[in-house]
Structure 1
Amino acid sequence: MRATDQPAQSSSELSARIGLRLRELRTARGLSLSELARHSGVGKATLSGLESGSRNPTLETLYALTTALGLPLSTALQEPERGARFSGQVLDAVLLDRSEDAAAVSETYRIRIRPGGVRRSAAHPPGTVEHLVVLSGTALVGAAASPVTVTAGGHHTWAADLPHCYEAVAQDVEAVLVVRYPHG
């Protein structure tokens, strides 16, 4: 249940690297540890442990922190690398690509949604949109208030600047997720 990277990099090295990056991002935004903890819903002790590199971040924690900072998930890595892996309780993600143009940052992930739980995501910065293509399985995804069922071969797009969710209906879901975060 941690962020992992290329096999040659140890979990503790990655945790330390992400911790330093989170501290840089927090201080660049002029936020105290307490302020970011409050805005993200992540405990202050957890955040302190992450920044010191003594705790392994989960996907849920990284999303909560980067969302509270108004930044894409990949900014938690100093140099976003293809193949960076993030794991959580319900959802695993592998960064396939990150591109940036004058209008937005786009991140492409290969994801696996495991059955038995729901991954609830807080609203991302205004204008953020997510696109999901299901490769196998059946997923219930989209706006938390009105998720949509998507089967293998299908796709769904939703405004991710509202709370949204991911759920595997009966078995693992394999999918490709594109998240587009507009600048500003």
Structure 2
Amino acid sequence: MKNTPTILNTHKKLGKIIQAKRKELGLDIADMYDYSEVSPSIISGIENGKRNPTIATLEKILNVLGLELCIKSQETRI
């Protein structure tokens, strides 16, 4: 797959953003589970760039962190 390196880099960047915001808010992974109901192993995997979250899972995590998902393309922005 031609885009695989880009996709992997995106997962790593996303995980770093989530982890940084979580730490900024003083939350640990157990807190994230309490607020989002996403399992600690999934959250850890996402933060480490090893898991590809579904949009539903990502939405639960981002809501806890006060973040939102923005999808961009060269032609449109959703």
TM range (shorter): 0.7 to 0.9
**What TM-score comes out, normalization by structure 2 length?**
0.80
Q: Distance in 2 between matches of 1:54 and 1:35?
A: 21
Q: Distance in 2 between matches of 1:82 and 1:72?
A: 13
Name which one, 1 or 2, has greater alpha-carbon Rg. Answer: 1
Aligned match for 2:50, one of 48, 54, 69? 54
Partner of 2:59: 63
Whether 2:7 is the aligned partner of 1:11: answer: yes
Determine what percentage of the aligned residue pairs are the same residue: 27
Offset, 1:62: 1.1
**What TM-score comes out, normalization by structure 1 length?**
0.37
Q: Distance in 2 between matches of 1:8 and 1:41?
A: 29
Q: Indicate how the Cα distance of structure 1 residues 8 and 55 shifts in structure 2: closer, same or farther if over 3 A, else same.
A: closer
Whether 2:36 is the aligned partner of 1:40: answer: yes
Q: Gaps (5+ residues) in structure 1?
A: 1-6, 75-80, 84-95, 98-108, 110-184
Aligned match for 2:72, one of 82, 93, 107? 82
Q: Secondary structure of the residue that 2:67 maps to in structure 1? A: coil
Q: Gaps (5+ residues) in structure 2?
A: none
Structure 2 residue identity aligned to 1:14: T
Offset, 1:8: 8.1
Superposed CA offset, 1:65-91 (max 9, x none): 0111222223xxxxxx622xxxxxxxx
Q: Secondary structure of the residue that 1:73 maps to in structure 2? A: coil
Aligned match for 2:68, one of 52, 65, 72? 72
Q: Distance in 2 between matches of 1:10 and 1:71?
A: 22
Q: Bigger relative contact order, structure 1 or 2, given CA contacts below 8 A and separation 6+? A: 2
Q: Distance in 1 between matches of 2:46 and 2:53?
A: 7
What are the within-5 Å matches in structure 2 for residues 11-160 of structure 1?
Answer: 11-74=7-70, 82-83=72-73, 96-97=76-77, 109=78
Q: Secondary structure of the residue that 2:33 maps to in structure 1? A: helix
Offset, 1:59: 0.7
